[in-house]
Amino acid sequence: MGCCDSENKHFNKYDLSQLEEKPPNLNNQANKINRPKINMIQDNKSSQKILQNDINNVQIASNENENINDAQYLNVKNSIGSSINFDNSTINLSANPEIDEKDRSIFDSMNLASFNCIKTIEAHDEKVVCLTELTSGKIATGSYDCKIKIWNLSTYECEKTLNENGYVFCLLEFEKNMLLSGTNENKIQLWDLNNSFSQNLHSFEGHLLWINCLVKCNHRCFASCSNDSDIRVWDYYTKECKTILKGHNDCVLALIKLNDGRLCSGSSDLTIKIWNWELNICDATLTGHTKWVKCLCQLKNGYIVSGSDDKTIKVWNEENLLEILSGHTHSVRALCQMNENSFASASFDQTIKIWSLNNMKCIQTLEGHLSNVTGIIYHSSGCLISCSNDHTIKIWK
């Protein structure tokens, strides 16, 4: 979870007062995607009919008196897969939280669920900036109130509180009930969740500035990234730093493990880097964002998704920029894969957006948080869980 503010050109990475960001000026602009429009069905309140004479090159004819029925929609969708992009006004979920029955049937037929907030938990006394699912199905949250809390989603109650020495920016369960936390105290703490005394077992020290992300590399090692521009790989059992990955020129704000075991990092130097951490080699550098890269996610199809202070989401393979997704009106701060058809993004515009992988469009916008949304996860139970600077966590299903 990155904690720097790229709007401030003179950002002092030692000054925590500069972490504050002003609430965005929300508006109701429709989501737009900067990409070529291929076979797009446009429905500007006028209905349209698909002409079936050329299924591989779908033609559209306007007709004020006829609608595309669900059967026509699904026949064409199933025939040509993701080669059709549907306009927001056709499946008008992002603009309107109320989904009519026709749109809902189309939405459900694509194996994408529509989400509503089912629970809001007043989780902390300060900003909630990170969360993670534990092996038990419970979740852990970290906050500026210097506390880590463990939540039971069946009862929505806090079962344990751990007291940190600083702001908690990131969390990782390395093995069952063994939790790692990173803070602005430049240390990584190890906690035994079975320990009734709630004391940390060990401090991993080496970073010079606060810790932004923690990821598990393999059964023995984990990695951390920091505002000191380094990525460190640690041996969980010997407690030693095995490798320091150097290459970024500024704060490393995002870090994920790729499907092939390598690491991928995002930075305030505007780049994304892919690392073979075992050989201490940077395999690739991706450029394209115009402001700081704050979050990363790898999709099941192997593509890498990045979110930035430039308000965009970019989709990459290891070599090229494939898509630019626009719609958020403020910094994109968190990303998560949902299922094979969708992923979610969280933003400082106080919203969460769900994106279809079939056409790379926003299909639903979730509103409800009263301040910046700082984190989001897709829980194994099938719900989305978000955290925010409004001190709450919300559960969406």
pLDDT bucket at 64, cuts 50 / 70 / 90: very low
Mean pLDDT, all residues of the chain: 80
So what's the pLDDT on residue 319? 84
Please state the rounded mean pLDDT for residues 329-341: 96
Give the residue extent of every domain in the chain: 50-84
pLDDT tens-digit profile of 69-82?
Answer: 333 333 333 333 33
Residue with tokens 């940190």: 164
Is the pLDDT at 98 greater than 60, yes or no?
no
So what's the pLDDT on residue 217? 98
Distance CA 204, CA 208 (A): 12
Please, are residues 233 and 220 in contact by the beta-carbon 8 Å criterion?
A: no
Is the pLDDT at 394 greater than 90, yes or no?
yes
For the ranges 75-89, 142-156, 240-254, 260-274, which has the lowest average pLDDT? 75-89
Percentage of the chain exceeding pLDDT 70 = 72
**Three-state secondary structure readout of 198-234:** CCEEEEEECCCCCEEEEEECCCCEEEEEECCCCEEEE
pLDDT bucket at 112, cuts 50 / 70 / 90: low
Sorted by sequence, the CB contacts under 8 Å of residue 78 that are 6+ apart come out as none
pLDDT bucket at 197, cuts 50 / 70 / 90: confident
pLDDT tens-digit profile of 162-175?
Answer: 999 999 999 999 99
Is the pLDDT at 312 greater than 60, yes or no?
yes
Is the pLDDT at 6 greater than 50, yes or no?
no
So what's the pLDDT on residue 196? 78
More confident residue, 318 or 386: 386
Sheet with 361-367: list strands edge to edge: 332-339, 342-347, 351-356, 361-367
Sorted by sequence, the CB contacts under 8 Å of residue 241 that are 6+ apart come out as 204, 206, 232, 233, 234, 235
Is the pLDDT at 106 greater than 60, yes or no?
no
Distance CA 116, CA 397 (A): 5
- The most confident of the ranges 17-31, 92-106, 362-376 is 362-376
